[in-house]
Structure 1
Amino acid sequence: MLQCPKCKKPLQKDGNRYCCDNHHSFDIAKRGYVNLGLGNHRQTGDDKDMVRSRTAFLQHGYYQPLCDMLTNICKQKQPLMLIDAGCGEGFYTNQIKRVLPKCNIFGFDLSKYAVDEASKAHNGVFYAVCSVFHMPLSNTCADIVLSVFAPFDTKEVCRVLQKDGWFIKVGPGPRHLYGLKEHLYDNVYENKIEDNRILNMELVDEKDLSYEITIDDQKDIWALFQMTPYFWKTPKKGSEHLKTLSSLTTDVEFHIEIYRKKACE
């Protein structure tokens, strides 16, 4: 099911590399992942410091209820193959693998630093650096595609999903991080839930998860800020104010959409 990103021929493991019949080869990194990004696509993603701080934040359990909900949803589906498209540092991916040890799980992300961190688990998840818009997999190979606060391409998701496969999408609920935004902006608004009509997908279920967290660590407050799109668009006044906080209480609210694949064109 693994494909060469250059020619789409099957990839096979050969020692410490993956190669195809056209002699394209991709070395396996020391940590065990492989870089399958296309050379003509600019590689971006989170840098080393952002990955390090986000890993620490997630390990402190602030988003553990979301992870528990996702692992339960995936367990109910009993997939044989699952893709975490935009897996980051593997917080959700690795816990799902513990719940579904026999499932073939692939984690893809643009950030080599995030994929390197995810690979530290050495638990059998196949991790690769690549774009979720060009996943190096054959058609109709996956039972589940998971996307947690990550960009996605509907056609690409539909391409890799089997008939009646599941697409699980997680985004912010209306009051997600409302308390954080109150410290960043003068006028604060609730998030809008995006139109949930996705081409060739049937929306089967929606779930909401909300609770309150208190962060008493400045490093964790800043790490949370880095995990959001506000980090890139907040005026300096707001971000400088955030650096003065020793404690932050905020709502967290997640909106989970569960789709089933219909016939694709």
Structure 2
Amino acid sequence: MLNTITALAALLTPIEAETVPLPVRLPESAHIELMLTKSDRSDGGEWRQTDFRYDVILEAPDEDDMRTMTWRLQEVNSGDAGAFSLSDFDVVMTVDVNLTPIRVENFEAILVALRRVMEASGEHGLESGMAALAAMTPEGAALFARDATLIAQGQGTELYVGQDHMYEVEGALPWGGGSMTMLGIYRLENVDVAAGRAVVRWEMTIDPESLLAVLPSMTSALMSAGNADEEEQEDVLADMDEAIAGARLENRRECDYVIDLATGLAVEIDCVFRVLIEAGGERRERESLVRATQTLIR
């Protein structure tokens, strides 16, 4: 009887769950059609939307599994989805195995194109803005390849189904001035083998205290890169110190990724960003939506 009970107990012992690897598996060279829609609004106003269509060209990986990835802009329609983004131009990047940008290889050419756009629009602060951008390294510029980074964020995971994977990272700032703490959560919602799809959820919040603490040094580094004089920097920083005293800040990002099991590509991406700041009796809110699809052509 004891042997029988022991055998039954063994059957009832739960089997330890295993992680589900979702690596990116692509041909030596690949062509992806990317459809990208970016929308934003401020303080509950009207949404502004811009639609992009790209050819994404991936070259064969090198011995370190790094690839050259080119986002070649084919079409852009309507609206204005906010501030300058590298998505407005053709971009050549070095990416890792998950297609996360490591550096922007044609950053100097992008700066030349950006200057033409800003000159044509009569952009205020052209020289200081261009000087600040020119001070960035190609690796720093990769931080601004945010659309490519966002799409890759859901690729290459290895998670337990239905369990939160929480992590904390220190986010570098492109002009120096310290770093801020970012708190992230990954969750593999489900895996449908028959459909060949998995759903990954990713959430990120920036720790408000660390961001408020780094704002003055970040602003100083940015103004120095833009050739602002010392007196101007002191005035701006004094105003900032007063404004952020007792300020409340929220910065949250949430994305759902539908992953193709065969290739590991995020074939559907749906993201919501929200930034809220209350300071000096004023309240400002900015909301952004990013939706994209990736289709492997070859």
For the criterion TM > 0.5, the same-fold answer is: no
* TM-score, L = length of structure 1: 0.28
Taking structure 2 as the reference length, what is the TM-score of the superposition? 0.26
Larger Rg computed on CA atoms: 2
Q: Which has the higher strand share?
A: 2
